[in-house]
Structure 1
Amino acid sequence: MRLLACLIAAGMIAGSLPALAKDDGHPTVKVEEAWTRATPPAARAAGGFATIRNAGPEDDRLIGASSPIGTVEIHTMEMNDGIMKMRHLPDGLAIPAGGTVELKPGSDHLMFLDLAAPVIEGPPVPVTLQFEKAGEVSVEMFVAPIGARAPKGMGSKDHGDMNHDGMKKQ
């Protein structure tokens, strides 16, 4: 009985940790505060956001992503002469050694295309990020309300009802 309780506790602790990618057994990439927005019923696209930290000694690159909700591309958005332009980054996004990259609204982000169904508040969205060196990192994106600029409490030390990996607290 004591062994079962220890195994359950270990599983709960492991499940609450941020996603880690390993390179030669050393954690290199952490994905934190992963989230997306709910979409209206007819929407065909949605954005995905997160903070990516590269604790490794070498630069890495986010080269792709996948999700059962639709096709995923890496995009950037920028303002030129008062006009917002979004474009696909087919070569991915650099994640510098010892650095942090924020995927956020109005900037670099994931783009979910050809949605299979509307994204709804409640269940998290599973996403697998593909890094050039760190490999695959699976995350679950918290779903914020339609039009949210960020989930309540994200971006501060108090994450409200969010864990650091973007998952809703139990």
Structure 2
Amino acid sequence: MAGCTNSEATEASSGTKSSSANSSSTNSSGTSTQTLTVRDPWVKAADTGMTAAFATLVNDTKADITIQSATSPASPIELHTMAMKDGKMVMEPKEGGFVIKAGATHELAPGGDHLMLMSPSAAVKPGDELAFTLTLAGGGTVAFTAVAKPFAGAQESYDPGMTMPAASAHS
């Protein structure tokens, strides 16, 4: 799988409306507080095989938030990342989930962390809207919808065990 720069990811998501979702919890005074926002979610369109979903995760709280898992009616999902192994960039499951530090953002982007759609039940065509639910450590979920977009990027391939030379990897 080849990575891409943030500018390529931005280009892929430009020209469409911004989409976001958030999760709420109740604090000790009984008022609702926002915990996590999913900003600009999108999915790489694919006729066959695996594909991935991307977004910016925003934590506006004073505590770290960990995403333990994700689900979608469109496909089984795994949390994935890219890592260096034996001088090559490889895709692998993200052990421990995605941690979004307090008051920070975490990018799910081509060539980095992403939600892997392992076996979509149908082709993911540009314009399709796919539903996702993130499960947070300690309870709670965040539901959002992502729009599929054509994205050539750096010609990423989401095949299991796919590697690329380290010199080609960038995010």
Structure-1 residue corresponding to 2:37: 30
1:146 deviation in Å? Answer: 4.6
Structure 2 CA distance, aligned partners of 1:114 and 1:63? 20
Deviation at 1:94, TM superposition (A): 0.8
CA contact (8 A) 1:51 1:101 kept: yes
Amino-acid identity (%)? 33
CA deviation map 1:121-141 (0-9, x unaligned): 122111111112461111111
| Structure 1 CA distance for aligned equivalents of residues 104 and 59 of structure 2 | 6
| Helix, strand or coil at the partner of 2:144 | strand
Bigger-Rg structure (1/2): 1
2:141 paired residue number: 136
Q: Give the Cα separation in 2 of the matches to 1:90 and 1:116.
A: 26
TM-score w.r.t. structure 1 length?
Answer: 0.71
1:56-97 deviation digits (Å, cap 9, x = unpaired) = 111110111111111001000134465121111242111111
2: distance between equivalents of 1:46 and 1:65?
14
User: Paired residues, what number?
Assistant: 132
- The 1:17–1:82 alpha-carbon spacing in structure 2 relative to 1, beyond 3 Å, is closer
TM-score (norm 2): 0.71
Amino acid at match of 1:64: S
Q: 1:108 to 1:17 in 2, by over 3 A?
A: closer
Q: Tell me how far 1:111 sits from its aligned partner.
A: 0.3
Aligned partner of 1:108: which letter? D
Deviations 1:83-116 (A, max 9, x none): 1211112421111111110000000111001111
Consecutive aligned runs of 4 or more in structure 1 exceeding 4 Å deviation: none
- Whole-angstrom distance in 2 between the partners of 1:66 and 1:87: 18
Find out whether 1:69 has 2:81 as its counterpart: no
Aligned partner of 2:22 among 2, 20, 23? 20
CA distance in structure 2 between the partners assigned to 1:21 and 1:144 by the alignment: 25
> Unaligned 5+ residue runs, structure 1?
1-15, 150-170
CA distance in 2 between counterparts of 1:22 and 1:52 reads 14
Check conservation: 1:29, 1:52, Cα contact below 8 A. yes
Q: Secondary structure at the match of 1:106?
A: coil
Equivalent residues of 2:23, 2:34 under 8 A apart: yes
Instruction: Provide the aligned C-alpha RMSD in A.
Output: 1.9
> In 2, are the aligned partners of 1:36 and 1:46 still within 8 Å (CA)?
yes
Aligned to 1:20, the other structure's residue is in SS state strand
2:119 is aligned with what amino acid? Answer: D
